[in-house]
Amino acid sequence: MSLPTLLEQYDYATGIWDEMCDRQQIREQYSKVIATLKQFNVSDLQQKDRLAGELFMNQGITFTVYSEDAGIERIFPFDIIPRIITGQEWDHIEAGIKQRLKALNLFLKDIYNEQQILKDNIVPASLIASCPHYTREVFGIKVPHDVYVHISGIDLIRGEDGLFYVLEDNLRTPSGVSYMLENREVTKRIFPELLAASHVRRVSNYPLMLHEILLQMGPGQLSNPLVVLLTPGIYNSAYYEHTFLARQMGIPLVEGRDLVVNNHKVYMKTTNGLEQVHVIYRRIDDEFLDPLMFRPDSALGIPGLMSAYRMGNVAIVNAVGNGVADDKAVYAYVPAMIRYYLNEEPILPNVPTYELSDPDARQYVFDNYTQMVIKRTNQSGGYGMVMGNKVAPEEWTRAKAAIEAEPRSFIAQPIIKLSTVPCFIDGTFQARHVDLRPYALCGPQGVQIVPGGLTRVALRKDSLIVNSSQGGGSKDTWVID
Amino acid sequence: MLSRIADSLFWLARYMERAEGLLRVTATHNLLSLDKDVNGPLTWRPVLETFTSTGEEEIKAIEGNTGAALKKLLTDTANNNSLKSIIGKARENARGIQDYITKEVWEEVNSFYHLINQPALDNRLSNYEAADILDLFTRHSVLYTGITDITMARGIGWGFMNLGKYIERCLETIVLTDKQYAVNQYKVDEIKDIMQWRHLLMSLSGYELHLKTYRSYQYTHDVLHQVLFNEDFPHSVIYSLGRIDRHLQDVTKGHISEENAALIRNFGRLYSKVKHLEIDDLNNQTLKPFLAELRHDLLHFTNLLSQKFFSYA
């Protein structure tokens, strides 16, 4: 079958924003790409699809899915058709994320020091006190340049109205940036002429920008601080990304057992003895960092690390305790934070959020649960999520009981139909839902964002869940001028 | 360099060298098994005894069955030393040091791993494709060596990789030599048919060199000279020891400590035992204990090396 016919058969639902088509018209930003695609036939695209799969497999770009205690290695499914965002749309997104991160950084500084925002009753103190990620152990610790969120991956979605909304803030150890970079590398192989003709903004300088920021976090008097990337090890689901970033930045990739703390300083165990470490870009969660301070059973961490951190002898990136700012219940207050700290109106809106600890809101959600998605405030990766329109009655009864038992651990949001884009699946073009995770870097000079980010796509028909652990894939994301 | 990385580099190189040795021996044996041997049909027993820890009963059951023996040696995951297990361990080591080794080296190890994990492999081994598959694997093994040589940076990490590689190679030569001479009750002075030695020489890829270099008919004596003392033969004991000596200097350079000095002395003693030996000193009585002592000394040196450089956990 020829591609033009396939494109005519492209079927997208009404009432959902489709990024390629608008009332049978192809939007301008997609027109050039589609015109080029029409020169290929289906078997060309299938060939490209296979090639892309092989490229990922041979490079070992795989992640591990955990279910029933067994980890399985898979490649992260990749769809060959790029997702396109116009330069104008992007500039809006960029401004919104910069504003949001500025406010969140100020919030973290405030909440671990003076706590003005609580005293002024903008955020209820009870909300922070009940947040499991509020880390009392780091209260009063001064971090270099007052930067807490060096690396963030804020999830955006596009609603029925075509506007971008912030779905959640990932401020701890967001992953996926290597896929953003590798997707572009694969696209360079499979659609070279298309990429060159489309004026796509560049993403490949991300590792260098990150390296720059990491170096700036070192002690000022050192010209060449030792920066390391701390990984949980080869069994971690994002291990590929850790090796990728370490290699791209040229910094050592270390595990907890490679480091030791002596006299409040952190050292690396080398073949010629100990060498002092100044900056740790960690990809380990807070609770595993230091068995003396957090979970005593952690074998991944370094005993005594937090004491070195408190003495200012080592910088940890991202800062410890950031979880309080990306808690899904605290999320509802981010617009208020922007108004409070910056005296500005939020550029990117939030999705309406109901805190289930509020009895009225809880009742409202219970009455309308079929239009709601219920999330745990402290879970990520799509685990522990209840989609109200798909849930079976007995499952709902169970979920309801869990909510009533600890309402603070849940929030509800109206189900938003994410926008759709065309995907090349089984030799046809099909509409699938996507979100967007731009990666922002924050250093002493402010926030920088590489144009684009990771587009995650729900590969199952009609599914709204884009997480890689739940059957999601990804696409290359083009910001074109 | 991180001790953990040095450790993984050392073992990556050792496992890849072991895989190469296993492949050469298996491929040689597979080809020779098609001919009828002077002592009746060729058995897989010596190969199985050298490379696996298979019990006597199982060896008896499969020694005459090429398909079963190949499965045991190459793809059996219950066998800790099968090619599949070895490559799996090599990849595990490479995975942990992906930031240190080059992308090219990682991709070669990774694709070798995926190749040997193809589900259809067992079937193809029992058919007449075995020789082709062994060829393909050997080519991957050689490719790994070439890619490593071309892309890896020199320096201390290179030193640890080569220490692993040549320690493994030296041990392999000692063990295979011992196995072959045991067949003749270590009789060095007996003149035997060259066909007897072809197996050992081809397994160490030294058959052509032998034909070109040695002109007498004292095969038993000549082969021993080649595998122990021939400096031009890259699988000889003396060649491997020379390389170990050089790379030991690389990894200890610039760090004067008593521990380093002791390590160098220990190796020096072992090296001179071979370097200053006359081949005529090896006779029917002394050959067996000499090989055993050499192996023991080398293993002891390896222990010292890992205590010095690889202690981190």
Which pLDDT score is estimated for B292?
A: 95
Q: Measured between CB atoms, which of B3, B96, B100 is closest to A234? A: B96
Q: Measured between CB atoms, which of A58, A253, A269 is closest to B312? A: A269
Chain A CB within 8 Å of residue B257 CB: no
For residue A359, give its domain range: 352-415
> What pLDDT digit, counting tens, does each position of B165-212 carry?
999 999 999 999 998 888 878 887 776 677 778 888 989 999 889 888
Chain B CB within 8 Å of residue A299 CB: no
Which pLDDT score is estimated for A35?
A: 86
* Position A141 in a domain: no
Which pLDDT score is estimated for A376?
A: 84
What is this model's ipTM?
A: 0.70
**Quick check: A60 and B95 CB within 8 A?**
yes
Chain A CB within 8 Å of residue B67 CB: no
- How many domains does chain B fold into? 2
User: Of B152, B187, B210, at which residue does a domain stop?
Assistant: B152
Distance, in Å, from the CA atom of B238 to the CA atom of B235, rounded to the nearest integer, reads: 9
Q: How far is B116 from chain A (nearest CA, A)?
A: 13
| A151-153, strands of its sheet edge to edge | A151-153, A439-443, A446-449
Q: Check whether residue B62 and residue B91 sit in a common domain.
A: yes
Chain A CB within 8 Å of residue B107 CB: yes
Distance, in Å, from the CA atom of B161 to the CA atom of B14, rounded to the nearest integer, reads: 8
Q: What is the full per-residue pLDDT of chain A (481 aa) written as tens digits? A: 667 777 777 887 778 899 988 877 888 889 888 888 888 888 888 999 999 988 887 777 766 666 544 456 667 889 999 999 999 999 999 999 999 999 999 999 999 999 999 999 999 999 999 888 899 999 999 999 999 999 999 999 998 888 999 998 999 999 889 999 999 999 999 998 888 888 899 999 999 999 999 999 988 778 889 999 999 988 888 888 999 999 899 899 999 999 999 999 999 999 888 999 999 999 999 999 999 988 888 888 999 999 999 999 999 999 999 999 988 889 999 999 999 999 999 999 999 999 888 888 889 988 988 888 888 887 666 667 888 888 888 888 888 888 888 888 888 999 888 899 999 988 888 999 999 999 999 999 999 999 999 999 998 888 888 877 677 899 999 999 8
* Position A271 in a domain: no
Q: Give CA A429 to chain center in angstroms.
A: 27
Q: Check whether residue B111 and residue B247 sit in a common domain.
A: no
Which pLDDT score is estimated for B296?
A: 96
Nearest residue in B to A234, CA atom: B96
- Mean pLDDT computed over every residue of chain B: 89
- How many CB pairs below 8 A link A and B? 65
Distance, in Å, from the CA atom of B63 to the CA atom of B55, rounded to the nearest integer, reads: 12
Please determine, for residue B259, whether its predicted confidence score (pLDDT) is greater than 90. no
Q: Which of chain B's residues have a Cβ under 8 Å away from the Cβ of A239? A: 95
Which pLDDT score is estimated for B37?
A: 61
Q: Check whether residue B139 and residue B177 sit in a common domain.
A: no
User: Of B152, B182, B203, at which residue does a domain stop?
Assistant: B152
In order of A81, A281, A362, the CA distances from A356 in angstroms are 40, 35, 5
Nearest residue in B to A270, CA atom: B2
Chain A CB within 8 Å of residue B215 CB: no
Q: Check whether residue B72 and residue B175 sit in a common domain.
A: no
Q: Which of chain A's residues have a Cβ under 8 Å away from the Cβ of B156? A: 271
* Position A396 in a domain: yes
**Cβ(B119)–Cβ(B110) under 8 Å?**
no
> In the structure, what pLDDT confidence band is assigned to residue B41 with cuts at 50, 70 and 90?
low
* Position A207 in a domain: no
**Quick check: B114 and A252 CB within 8 A?**
no
The DSSP secondary structure of chain B, one letter per residue, reads: -BHHHHHHHHHHHHHHHHHHHHHHHHHHHHHHTTSPBTTBS--SHHHHHHH----HHHHHHHTT-HHHHHIIIII-TTSTTSHHHHHHHHHHHHHHTTTTS-HHHHHHHHHHHHHHT-TTHHHHHHTTTHHHHHHHHHHHHHHHHHHHHHHSPPSHHHHHHHHHHHHHHHHHHHHHHHHHHHHTTT-SS----HHHHHHHHHHTT-HHHHHHH--SS-HHHHHHHHHHH-TT-TTSHHHHHHHHHHHHHHHHTT---HHHHHHHHHHHHHHHHHHT--GGG--TTTHHHHHHHHHHHHHHHHHHHHHHH----
Chain B CB within 8 Å of residue A224 CB: no
Q: Tell me what the mean pLDDT of segment B3-28 comes to.
A: 95
Which pLDDT score is estimated for A54?
A: 84
- Most B CBs within 10 A among A56, A185, A229, A271, hence the mutation to make, goes to A271
Q: Check whether residue B286 and residue B192 sit in a common domain.
A: yes
Distance, in Å, from the CA atom of A318 to the CA atom of A320, rounded to the nearest integer, reads: 6
- How many domains does chain A fold into? 1
Which pLDDT score is estimated for B122?
A: 80
**Quick check: A243 and B3 CB within 8 A?**
no
**Quick check: A257 and B3 CB within 8 A?**
no
**Quick check: A58 and B99 CB within 8 A?**
no
Q: How far is A31 from chain B (nearest CA, A)?
A: 37
Q: Measured between CB atoms, which of A60, A233, A239 is closest to B110? A: A60
Torsion from C-alpha of A318, A322, A328, A329, nearest 10 degrees: -170
Q: How far is A260 from chain B (nearest CA, A)?
A: 10
User: Of B152, B176, B205, at which residue does a domain stop?
Assistant: B152
Percentage of chain B lying above the pLDDT 90 cut: 55
**Cβ(A306)–Cβ(A152) under 8 Å?**
no
Which pLDDT score is estimated for A64?
A: 61
Nearest residue in A to B107, CA atom: A59
Q: Which of chain A's residues have a Cβ under 8 Å away from the Cβ of B160? A: 271
Spatial CA neighbour of B51 closest among B72, B35, B68: B72
Which pLDDT score is estimated for B32?
A: 80
Q: Which of chain B's residues have a Cβ under 8 Å away from the Cβ of A251? A: 99
**Quick check: B95 and A247 CB within 8 A?**
no
Q: Check whether residue B136 and residue B32 sit in a common domain.
A: yes
For residue B55, give its domain range: 1-152
**Quick check: B95 and A234 CB within 8 A?**
yes
Q: Check whether residue B33 and residue B165 sit in a common domain.
A: no
* Position A212 in a domain: no
Q: Check whether residue B124 and residue B160 sit in a common domain.
A: no
User: CATH number for the domain including A411?
Assistant: 3.30.1490.270
Q: Which of chain B's residues have a Cβ under 8 Å away from the Cβ of A233? A: 96
* Position A278 in a domain: no
Q: Measured between CB atoms, which of A229, A247, A255 is closest to B4? A: A255
Distance, in Å, from the CA atom of A435 to the CA atom of A145, rounded to the nearest integer, reads: 32
Q: Check whether residue B109 and residue B158 sit in a common domain.
A: no
Q: Measured between CB atoms, which of B4, B99, B255 is closest to A243? A: B99
Chain A CB within 8 Å of residue B218 CB: no
Nearest residue in B to A250, CA atom: B99
Q: Which of chain A's residues have a Cβ under 8 Å away from the Cβ of B101? A: none
Which pLDDT score is estimated for A317?
A: 94
Chain B CB within 8 Å of residue A239 CB: yes
**Quick check: A257 and B2 CB within 8 A?**
no
**Cβ(A232)–Cβ(A255) under 8 Å?**
yes
* Position A468 in a domain: no
Q: How far is A257 from chain B (nearest CA, A)?
A: 6
Q: Check whether residue B84 and residue B13 sit in a common domain.
A: yes
**Quick check: A271 and B312 CB within 8 A?**
no
Which pLDDT score is estimated for A380?
A: 63
* Position A384 in a domain: yes
